[in-house]
A and B are shown apart, each in its own frame.
Chain A
Amino acid sequence: QVQLVESGGGVVQPGRSLRLSCAGSGFTFSSYGMHWVRQAPGKGLEWVAALSYEGSSKYYVDSVKGRFTVSRDNSKNTLYLQMNSLRAEDTAVYYCARYTFGGVIVPGYWGQGTLVTVSS
């Protein structure tokens, strides 16, 4: 079955960088677009970024544009989120999610998330 496993979270100081990874299995990774969605402690869901199946189309929420970069390595079945110039307000659980199926971009399958804490 579809499985997504995030890694790379941790505690980081403001202004520093962190790279998250999301390993996919149980499906043809190279055929699906992917999302990153985050959730600050005790708050609601916020969509962060998306990447098309082949990596040519990228989309971001305004609050991370210019600081975060989404990418993928289809040979490794892995999605990445490079996060630079981190701020306290980036503290959240970060989920990766797969498009439901080819023509429907809704996040249909989710990982369990990785916690990023930005604090001095």
Chain B
Amino acid sequence: EIVMTQSPATLSVSPGERATLSCRASQSVSSNLAWFQQKPGQAPRLLIYGAFTRATGIPARFSGSGSGTEFTLTFSSLQSEDFAVYYCQQYNNWPLTFGGGTKVEIK
């Protein structure tokens, strides 16, 4: 199974700031990498798939990059509604696997 490792576990950011989350795969997943946002009490929401393609309705301030084993999710300017937990997931191999998550909190 492919192990996904996210860093940092928690990121404290002020609204309006730029922020970057990292996700590393234990072996290459090509570009088969997705990012999800989850707020308390809600189901996850797909943000990015194919490493950099935004899902329907996702604002341009979210961007994904990377391939192989190293990936990043970047917020160009954090908004109040962006404070949440973010998960990466590889879908290159079964079983699909998620990273442990990064909590983005208000500084």
Contacts and interface: CB of A to CB of B under 8 A. Distances in A.
Interface of A: 35, 37, 44-47, 50, 59-62, 95, 100, 104-113
B50 A60 contact: no
A108 B87 contact: no
User: Mostly helix, strand, loop or mixed at chain B's interface?
Assistant: loop
A109 B97 CA distance: 17
A47 B44 contact: no
A19 B36 CA distance: 27
Contact of A110 (B1, B44, B97): B44
Interface string B23-51: 00000000000101010001111100110
B100 A107 contact: no
A120 B91 CA distance: 36
Contacts of A47: 89, 95-98
Contacts of B95: 47, 59-62
18 contacts: A35-B96, A44-B98, A44-B100, A45-B89, A47-B96, A47-B98, A50-B96, A59-B94, A59-B95, A60-B95, A61-B95, A95-B44, A104-B49, A105-B91, A106-B46, A107-B44, A108-B49, A113-B43
Given A107-B46, A113-B43, A45 B36 contact: yes
Interface of B: 1, 34, 36, 38, 42-46, 49-50, 55, 87, 89, 91, 94-101
B86 to A, nearest CB: 11
A6 to B, nearest CB: 10
Nearest to B55: A108
